[in-house]
Amino acid sequence: YVRRSAESHTLSRLAALERSLNDYIQATGKVPTKLTSLVPDYLAEIPDVEMGVKDHKDRSEVRYYPASVIVGGGINGAALGDSGGWGYAYNDKRVIVFIDCTHQRMDGSLWYKARGVF
């Protein structure tokens, strides 16, 4: 139950990050180089990632990745550091905020492939 709740919180927070990122891009016409650019105008703070996985503590740190981790419109999991926090990468076609984790979620899918629901 605790893990399911943690996953739900994290997916909601991911959706909030995605919304704020979209709002920033729409308002400014540019992609932020750092997610902290969203604070405080678009987001009160960078939220914690909670996974309920013993290998990762709850954390709000963001790991910034080069555009080369974006392959075929998604994230190349083999290139990730598995920090357990947020991941962020962009290129001229895509801007992706994701959970920097290569472990499985309860449904068997991989964390870094999760997208927020909004």
Residue pLDDT, tens place only, 105-115: 999 999 999 98
Q: Under DSSP, is residue 14 helix (H, G, I), strand (E, B) or coil?
A: helix
What's the number of domains the chain is made of?
Answer: 1
| pLDDT digits 0-9 by tens, 2-33 | 788 889 999 999 999 999 999 999 999 999 99
Domain that holds residue 32: 2-113
Residue 35 maps to a domain: yes
The separation between the first and the last C-alpha atoms of the chain, rounded to the nearest angstrom, is: 23
Q: Are the CB atoms for 3 and 103 separated by under 8 Å?
A: no
pLDDT at 118: 41
Residue 60 maps to a domain: yes
Q: Are the CB atoms for 43 and 16 separated by under 8 Å?
A: yes
| pLDDT digits 0-9 by tens, 84-98 | 999 999 999 999 999
Q: In 29-113, which ranges are continuous DSSP H helix?
A: none
Residue 118 maps to a domain: no
Residue 14 maps to a domain: yes
